[in-house]
Amino acid sequence: MNNLEVETKFLMKKYGVNANKSLGQNFLIDKEVIANTIQKANIGKDDLVIEIGPGLGTLTNELVNFAGKVICVELDKKMVEILKDRFLLFDNIEIINEDILKIDLNKIIDENKLERTKIVANLPYYITTPIIMRLLEGKAKFDSITVMVQKEVADRLCAKTGTREAGAITYTVEYYADAKKLFTVPNTSFIPMPGVESEVITLEIRKEKPYDVKNEEKLFKIIKYAFMQRRKTLLNALQNTEVCSNKENLKEVLNNLQIDERIRGEALTLKDFVNISNLL
pLDDT tens for 111-157 read 998 999 999 999 888 889 999 999 999 888 899 999 999 999 999 99
- Is there a contact between 119 and 145 (Cβ–Cβ < 8 Å)? yes
Average pLDDT over residues 53-63: 95
Helix (H, G, I), strand (E, B) or coil at 106: helix
Q: Tell me which residue of 42, 27, 49 sits closest to 124, measured CA to CA.
A: 27
Average pLDDT over residues 52-70: 95
Question: pTM here?
Answer: 0.92
**Per-residue model confidence (pLDDT) at position 23:** 65
Q: Are residues 155 and 229 in the same domain?
A: no
**Per-residue model confidence (pLDDT) at position 22:** 67
23 burial level (CB within 10 Å; 0-12, 13-18, 19+):
middle
The answer to whether residue 72 sits within a structural domain is yes
List C-alpha distances in Å: 274 to 144, 268, 269.
24, 10, 9
Q: Are residues 189 and 220 in the same domain?
A: no
Report the length, in residues, of the chain. Answer: 280
Q: Which residues fall within 8 angstroms of residue 258, CB to CB, at 6 or more apart?
A: none
Total structural domains in the chain? 2
Q: Are residues 179 and 231 in the same domain?
A: no
pLDDT band at 229 (very low <50, low <70, confident <90, very high): confident
**Per-residue model confidence (pLDDT) at position 120:** 97
Domain endpoint, select from 205, 231, 250: 205
The answer to whether residue 146 sits within a structural domain is yes
Q: Are residues 200 and 220 in the same domain?
A: no
Task: Tell me how many degrees the CA angle 130-140-52 measures, rounded to the nearest 5.
Answer: 50
The answer to whether residue 211 sits within a structural domain is no
Task: Tell me how many degrees the CA angle 112-114-117 measures, rounded to the nearest 5.
Answer: 90
Q: Are residues 13 and 52 in the same domain?
A: yes
pLDDT band at 242 (very low <50, low <70, confident <90, very high): confident
Q: Are residues 230 and 118 in the same domain?
A: no
- Is there a contact between 26 and 121 (Cβ–Cβ < 8 Å)? no
